[in-house]
Structure 1
């Protein structure tokens, strides 16, 4: 009987173990869930990013371009929109976002930090989590404006995948000015089927205030969500949550009908159409740190099953 009980315990525990696997290759880190690719940390662009983002059913939830330009129905605009990324368009006058200004910057991957995986169960539903960190340098030529420790925590729970991003920024070369521009900051470029416009776009936007589609652009909100069909035609939701501890929470949202979803705490004059172009500036003193936390939700299902209000309460502690 003792051996039977032990065997039963192993059977019940084993589905909760080793469900997320992290594999490092050079400057990349592959994240697999149940043996299938979920995402990969990539540092082969001007800014590090996560690409692709794969749903539990195997559909890609973010745009493939500029990594792959052969996908039918995808627009090739904004090549700096690289799936899931974090940067800003005006840091000490340097463009780390679109590379359009005279002064162009690059976020350089320096090293990987600690990583871990664990499994648990909540309300009878298995939950698997993996965490890894990277050390980055925001550079313009030989000048280092910022150093950053960025931590990704990935959770797999039923039909939902969560990516928590914590960015700890430290000023290096004197004070650092984050300039007022709409070009930033924590961003996702969704799959073309979830866009609001275009030949295959059938999506919609909703924010925590109840504002929809074009009315959500430039508004302050706790979260914003895209919903619509994934490339396989199945219902999907992509949302981002702005943590209450973040600078100027609730943040402004650069949420576009062509598939961009970005939280931006610095673009006040653009979003509110103010004359003062420095209204949203923020100065980080040399040696001080500035921390941002965001949660990105990828759900296979509709807005009702995504339970965004409950997810927000869980994330925010409110």
Structure 2
């Protein structure tokens, strides 16, 4: 099957990609390896040509899963992975030093069973290391043929400009959805000015906009249990917003997830959302959103639900926010 395509740096990819984190990380009980393999295979069969992973996901397990399952079909997709966030001396950590980046990359290549990753991101900014040093490490990896293009994740416009001055950046990845608008502060404008593609992770807001959250009794190791928007007392307020969003989707003849993805796609043809899922049925639902064309009235109705400050609670806990360089929204700054 084929899907509509968009450009991210030098790559032409399906208009909707796949974030692979869910298969190995962060959302409670993990699927079996066999189920993960089936989902990855089905994504390629549906025409998805952009897979996103990271060293952190499953502490290397996600890269190993991709290596075991679909790397034999590598000519069918563009592969993205990430460094800086990794496991160092047995503990999760943040290390943007060039030697750490080089080590993470070499380990990733082994796990993936390849000698080349198409797009390689700095997963987060290490505030202890100048961005120029970290980007320089990626530039050297590109010169060595180990990666094809450079990316940044959850990075501010000012940092993007500093990084781009060292070496052209192909893609910036940040959370973006109808209810998370931080890239609109400055990042989207910077990307467009510099000719950088934008990759929207969590475009269905960690399942919230897919109508997958009804309470805050999460499984063990579900990251949403420590995210203020997805626990009480904030959650009840946000579920009231979701009810309006659900009704709008129903009236448009699509699912809430498809409404969220259609909204993201409508924000510009330089944006590629990468929803993640463990369900083949939900994967098929997400991919079908590549063919959804929302009317201007529907887009305006979405915006009328998620007005500035409508979502209760900050996006991240204070500890998580400390690792994020992307600009805060005005209402977040007021609460900081």
Do these two structures clear the TM 0.5 threshold for a shared fold by scoring above it? no
Q: Give the structure, 1 or 2, with the largest relative contact order (CA under 8 Å, sep 6 or more).
A: 2
Q: What TM-score, normalized by structure 2, do the two folds share?
A: 0.25
Q: What TM-score, normalized by structure 1, do the two folds share?
A: 0.26
Q: Please identify which structure carries the higher helix content.
A: 2
Q: Please identify which structure carries the higher strand content.
A: 1
